Every structure is written in structure tokens, then in C-alpha cells.
Amino acid sequence: MNLDNRVVLVTGATGGLGQEFVKQALARGAAKVYAGARRDHDWGDSRVVPLQLDVTDPAAIATAVAAAPDADVLVNNAGVRGADSLLTSPESEIRETYEANVFAPLLLVRAFAPVLARNGGGAIINVHSALSWLARPGAYAASKTAFWGLTNALRLELAEQKTQVVGAHLGYTDTPFIAHLDVPKSDPAVIVSNILDALEAGEDEAMADDTSVQVKSILPSMTTGILPS
Ligand SMILES: NC(=O)c1ccc[n+]([C@@H]2O[C@H](COP(=O)([O-])OP(=O)(O)OC[C@H]3O[C@@H](n4cnc5c(N)ncnc54)[C@H](OP(=O)(O)O)[C@@H]3O)[C@@H](O)[C@H]2O)c1
């Protein structure tokens, strides 16, 4: 997989990582990028085609499929932080977390799989988290674990149509998503560059930072999803 002349659709395109995906896909030679987002954004580049896309809205997904028949790379990047507690947050907030972080990317893959197949197979990047592998209170980490499992199952189903499926893992990254956290953060430009390197190298998994590499390396010693002390 090489991004030269590819047609890429990015969800959550106006976010911190989303904007990097748009910019770097073009820098790597993509012919066109569909920038799927809920908000308007002036991209200042005729190769960027804005798409109104709330990923939790099935009608908007159908419209996106009709509007982007030439897409051959789908980047499932949109995500939400979600409900703080699995016990006390309203059930609706927990469902909304799973709608955005699990069902939305699944529905996008289902909708775009025939498009990718028609265009030669192409690729999908699913943006998980290092927290796909670590337990945290609340719905976010649990939803990213579910997303990771879904990616791996989809990869098996999409192999027949030769669609590469990349699961991307990253820790704290300097975007509006975690603006409220005072912690060391990676540069989103470096994270996206590492993910796109993995895509272009034909990998199934993108380990975008040291945190992800470290967390994955200790998975065998974890019994409950909690870091060993
Ligand atoms: N930053 C980190 O530390 C970090 C770490 C691990 C994983 N991630 C993952 O990286 C991905 C991108 O996040 P980011 O860091 O770039 O955060 P961000 O700047 O907050 O961007 C998140 C984007 O997702 C969009 N989004 C949320 N719900 C949506 C919906 N229903 N329909 C369409 N778009 C929706 C947001 O759109 P609006 O602006 O319209 O809300 C926003 O553009 C997320 O999946 C996140 O879980 C981030």
C-alpha cells in the first residue's frame, strides 16, 4: 500500500489527529482526501473535499458512500472520550460512547467495504488507543478494547477482498481530546506519520509511540488489564 494517487476518507477530520491525516495523506501523494466532519473547516486545498459526516448517523454514512465512490482508504479516526463511569454515568452516555467508538466505525466499514473492493481492495486504518489494552474506569478504554477486537475480526473477513486493515495504537497525544490533562504528550504529526508508515509498510498494526510498544510488551504479565506494580 502506497498513498500515491490514493483517495482517502478521514472521519473526525477537523480534530487534532484528523487534520494531520488529511495533511500527511496529501503530502504522501494522495490525489484526493474526503474530510468527513461535523464542523465546517476551510481546508484551503482543492484536493480536499469536505463531507458532512456525523459517524453515528446512518443516513450521513449512506450519503458519504454515495459522495465518495472513488475512496480506497478509509481512516476511522473520529472518537469520543465518553462516559466517566460504567456504574454511575447515565446508560445513555455509555451507549453513546459505544455508538461513536465501536458501532460507527463498524457501520462505516460495512458501508465502504464494497467501495474499497470495487477500487482494488485498498485499506482501512482504525484508530484505537494504548487503552485498548489497559483497564480504566469508564466507557472509553472498554470501548477501545471492543474496537480493537472488531478490527481484528474485520481483518479476517476483509482479507478475501484484499483490504489491508491497520489497527493503530497510541498513548497521550497533544490534541483537544486531552487538553484537560497535564501529562507528557506526543506530537500528533509524529503519531500520524508513524501510522501512515505502518500502512505503507503493509503492517496490520501501527504502534505509533513508545507507550503503545511498552503496554503491548507487558500484556503477557497482565492478568486484569492493570499494569504490574
Ligand atoms: N489524543 C489522544 O491522546 C488520543 C490517544 C489515543 C487515542 N486517541 C484517538 O484518536 C482519535 C482522534 O482523536 P484526537 O486526539 O484527534 O481528538 P480530537 O482533536 O478531539 O478529535 C476527535 C474528532 O472526532 C470527532 N467526532 C467525535 N464524535 C463524532 C461523530 N459522532 N461524528 C463525527 N465526528 C466525531 C470530533 O468532531 P467534533 O469536533 O465535531 O466533536 C473531532 O473532530 C480518537 O478516536 C481518539 O479516541 C486519541
Residue range 158-206, pLDDT digits in tens: 999 999 999 999 999 999 999 999 999 999 999 999 999 999 999 999 9
Q: For the segment 125-156, what is each residue's pLDDT rounded down to a tens digit?
A: 999 999 999 999 999 999 999 999 999 999 99
Distance CA 172, CA 23 (A): 21
Is pLDDT above 80 for 228? no
Residue 225 pLDDT > 90: no
From the list 34, 98, 140, 172, the catalytic residue is 140
* Ligand 1 atom showing the smallest separation from residue 14 Cα: 43
Tell me which residue has its CA closest to atom 46 in ligand 1. Answer: 79
The yes-or-no answer on residue 172 being catalytic is no
Please tell me the distance between residue 179's alpha carbon and the centre of ligand 1 in angstroms. Answer: 12
Higher pLDDT, 220 or 103: 103
In this structure, the residues whose C-beta lies within 6 A of any atom of ligand 1 are 11-12, 14-18, 37-39, 53-56, 77-80, 100, 127, 129, 170, 172-173, 175-178
Confidence grade of residue 221 (pLDDT, cut at 50, 70, 90)? confident
Enter the pTM of the model: 0.97
CA distances from 82 to 54, 93, 109, 111, 113 (A): 16, 7, 22, 24, 27
pLDDT at 227: 75
Q: Whose CA is nearest to atom 17 of ligand 1?
A: 177
